[in-house]
Chain A
């Protein structure tokens, strides 16, 4: 048993049972049996966790001392300004996974904000449906640990159409020998709609291991635009998993933006459970310096006439590595399913690496499934075209890099989030000054 596993087991033994105990117990047993993923596990083949497995972990604390006020604002990993002050957006802070729900929490018409812990104390059965049964699938390994060890979490119930975005600011604080397990449940009632932005930051360059999970459940006709923006420090390790369950005619637009962290593993598993459900997933994965970004998307069409689009853009510079694996599964009987996967990678340095693999698994007839993946350097034909019009080389190159990202950026409907993300992104690309001119 690895040091990490032993230390997680010790944490598990030390905690007091609570109302979720049966669910937690099963998850912990699976995790202990399966262990820390190795590169022999299918979805982990590009990411080496041996260093992590040799580490002893303590539970990262939830102390609120000065953290609320100073959350993420102390240094260079400060929070991006994803929403304008005049949008009156509400922000809920989670420190190492613990929601800071003070009395002065803003009230938003149409979104009920609760602590998971408070809720399951009142009614243990209510939340059960948001916890998936323990699975051996290797992409779900860290979700098992999260289920076993999370201290508290955030439960958001969206009951009507809400225009202003809600921001969840995840703050990581502490050392690398600590681990936190942030948990968020977003439950949209039939016909409700909202925009939720999850923003992950760390107080320092180094941070605890963050093992976060978000579960999204969309009722019939519900609409959600969801962002997860990774902007932690270069010494931070982050495993983030997202589960999306969609009912009839629900629509989800999801943006995954990797702009920070040292080791980032991001997974998305979506199930289009009923007719008419539609998912647009956008990923913008930026490899910078020595960052390692490993992204896994699995979309299951489980009902007829469901629709999914996956658009991923990966850029790798310096010594970074970006991995994007996506898979579309069409279940038997899910006729009329319509899916597209488009993944493009752009290498800006000879020592950077991008790996992409779109996959299809189809068990139904009459489906429309398209996929494409390309990775390369800047297109020489495009470059020559711009040069032949008199643009200098630096401008031409920057323009093409910017254009490469446009497919994802233009999909964002929160303009302030788009502007802030563009800005942070440009700072991590060569020729930042030239790029600013195109905005």
Chain B
């Protein structure tokens, strides 16, 4: 589904990604871990199409298409979803309006008719209930005045409504208390499907107790330095990132 090869990218003139190689197949959940500054968030943003991040080498294909040649909005409509680490507040743009516009943009690209207003509201209410979100969400601006936890729930809610083929969740677990973490994990697990894939970018192993990954990768210095199964995450938790980075030097 996703094939990343030798991906090298610059942010503000500084090389942050330095030859990333990664293959994610349909049905899989991958976790990308790594210390602060290792390039995890940059990788997520580059995949989603942030324009001020400059790709200088390498290729990315998504379902056989050249992802890097597509604009951010085209990637989204093709089924890629980024859950932001810091979802931006947009006062004056209603949450429901954004969700509806996003869903319709995707449906239009797939040649489907716009969603019926009544059906749409029923869908939102169902997903909100699942994510244990308050009704006031419906009338508020996008992420406006939301707590950190509410913002993350909103990211997962959007993901559930848009049903992406590939979801990249950038530190969706950070800043969550244990109850919120369970709800968010439940949301991610509900999307697991042989036709879909999930990439979890995370700093801690905690989330991986609830969403069990098929593969775990360690990103350091802008490249993947170690890959393994879920036990790698547990070992990292026990021994710290220095262990991987030390092994790298040796």
Find chain B residues with CB under 8 A from A404 CB: 92
A387-B49 contact in complex given A392-B73, A392-B105, A395-B101, C-beta closer than 8 Å: yes
Is A402 close to B, CB under 8 A?
Answer: yes
Find chain B residues with CB under 8 A from A395 CB: 101
**What 1/0 mask marks residues of chain A from 96 to 119 whose CB sits below 8 Å from any chain B CB?**
000000000000000000000000
**What 1/0 mask marks residues of chain A from 366 to 410 whose CB sits below 8 Å from any chain B CB?**
000000000000011110111111111101100110111111000
Is A126 close to B, CB under 8 A?
Answer: no
A385-B90 contact in complex given A390-B76, A403-B141, C-beta closer than 8 Å: yes
Of B2-10, B12-20, B80-88, the one with at least 4 CB within 8 A of chain A: B80-88
Give the nearest-CB partner of A395 in chain B: B101
A388 B88 Cβ-Cβ under 8 A: no
Find chain B residues with CB under 8 A from A381 CB: 88
B97 A386 Cβ-Cβ under 8 A: no
A384 B90 Cβ-Cβ under 8 A: no
**What 1/0 mask marks residues of chain B from 100 to 113 whose CB sits below 8 Å from any chain A CB?**
01100110010000
- In whole angstroms, what is the CA distance A125 to B52 when docked? 68
Find chain B residues with CB under 8 A from A382 CB: 88, 90
- Chain B 139-168 residues near chain A, CB threshold 8 A: 141-142, 158, 162
- In whole angstroms, what is the CA distance A386 to B71 when docked? 12
- In whole angstroms, what is the CA distance A384 to B82 when docked? 11
A407 B92 Cβ-Cβ under 8 A: yes
- In whole angstroms, what is the CA distance A388 to B48 when docked? 7
Give the nearest-CB partner of B87 in chain A: A385
Within the complex, the shortest CB–CB distance from A393 to chain B, in Å, comes to: 7
Range of interface residues on B (Cβ < 8 Å) = 20 to 34
| Among B82, B88, B105, contact of A391 (Cβ-Cβ < 8 Å) | B105
State the total of A-B contacts with C-beta under 8 angstroms: 73
Is B121 close to A, CB under 8 A?
Answer: no
The total of chain A residues at the interface (CB under 8 A) is 25
Within the complex, the shortest CB–CB distance from A377 to chain B, in Å, comes to: 13
A389 B93 Cβ-Cβ under 8 A: no
Give the nearest-CB partner of A380 in chain B: B52
A390-B90 contact in complex given A380-B52, A384-B72, A385-B84, C-beta closer than 8 Å: no
Is B98 close to A, CB under 8 A?
Answer: yes
| Among B75, B82, B87, B93, contact of A403 (Cβ-Cβ < 8 Å) | B93
A387 B71 Cβ-Cβ under 8 A: yes
- In whole angstroms, what is the CA distance A384 to B77 when docked? 14
Within the complex, the shortest CB–CB distance from A397 to chain B, in Å, comes to: 12
Find chain A residues with CB under 8 A from B228 CB: none
Find chain A residues with CB under 8 A from B51 CB: 384
Find chain A residues with CB under 8 A from B73 CB: 387-388, 390-393, 396
- List residues of B whose CB falls within 8 A of some A CB: 48-52, 71-73, 75-77, 81-82, 84, 87-88, 90-93, 97-98, 101-102, 105-106, 109, 141-142, 158, 162
> Could you give 5 example pairs across A and B, Cβ below 8 Å?
A385-B88, A389-B105, A390-B73, A390-B106, A399-B101
